[in-house]
Structure 1
Amino acid sequence: MAYDELLARRVRPFLSGYPGFSEKRMFGGMAYFLDGNWCIGIFKESMVVRVGLEAYEAALAEPHVTIFGSDERQMRGWAMVGPLGLEDLPSIRAWVERGVAFVETLPPKE
């Protein structure tokens, strides 16, 4: 299954105004970067948000959020938000802002 292009179009405006914004198709989905750091991804019908280790457990406790990765290789610091958690623009914006808040703590990649 390809990634949800409508979700990608809804996410892009919340990120495109940030300095260093870029996007790239990856692993059958879409990835959004800020200053070279992976921030948000669209995988199938879900959004993958880079929240960092400190906010990871709290993110997983939220409705419609699951672990990103496989049982063998969980991607700690990354949360997968399912479609029911992304039904409206305020919800999408809130998750994007969480990803941005974490990525802004990282040094730019060259």
Structure 2
Amino acid sequence: MPYDPVIADRLRAALAGVDGVSEKRMFGGVGFMVNGTMAVAASSTGGVMLRSDPDDSGGIIDGVAITGMEMKGRPMKGWLAVLPEAVATDEDLQRIVDHGVTAARSLPSR
């Protein structure tokens, strides 16, 4: 399943005021980098892939619409899977984007 272009456009809008943002197609989706580090992506699974500090993910994970990311059955430390229903409103999406931008900025620039 390809990424959702509507979610990608909403991510672009939510990132419009953020300095250092670039966009790159990858893994069947489209990733949004902040200073070269991916912060958030429109996932090829139809939702959002979100960077998160592994020590600061507890407050955002709900276990249903926002969960730890897995690839091929393996947990991906520092990444969360966000279902479309978790970003249904612009406020919800902005909260997710802000979380990803903060996590990306906490890492060294590439």
Under a length normalisation based on structure 1, what TM-score does the superposition of the two structures give? Answer: 0.88
Q: Which amino acid aligns with 2:2?
A: A
RMSD over aligned Cα atoms: 1.6
Identity %: 28
CA distance in 2, matches of 1:63, 1:69: 14
CA deviations 1:60-90 (Å, max 9, x no partner) are 3355112212363211111111011011111
5+ unaligned residues in a row in structure 1: which ranges?
none
- Runs of at least 4 residues off by over 4 Å: none
Task: Provide, for residues 9-67 of structure 1, a one-character-per-residue CA deviation record: whole Å limited to 9, x for no partner.
Answer: 01112213322210011010010000000100111321111011112233333551122
Q: How many residue pairs were aligned?
A: 109
Does the residue aligned with 1:59 lie in a helix, a strand or coil? Answer: coil
Match of 1:76 in 2: 77
Structure 1 equivalent of residue 19 of structure 2:
19
TM-score (norm 2): 0.88
Contiguous gaps of at least 5 residues in structure 2: none
Larger helix proportion, structure 1 or 2? 1
Match for residue 59 of structure 1? Answer: 60
Q: Distance between the aligned counterparts of 1:73 and 1:26, measured in 2?
A: 19
> Residues of 1 paired with 2:57 and 2:72: CA distance?
16
Query: 1:36 maps to what in 2?
Result: 36
* Secondary structure, counterpart of 1:80 in structure 2: strand
- Return the alpha-carbon distance in structure 1 between the equivalents of residues 5 and 42 of structure 2: 8
What is the rounded CA distance, in whole Å, between the counterparts of 1:53 and 1:20 in structure 2? 23
| Counterpart contact for 1:56–1:76, Cα < 8 Å | no
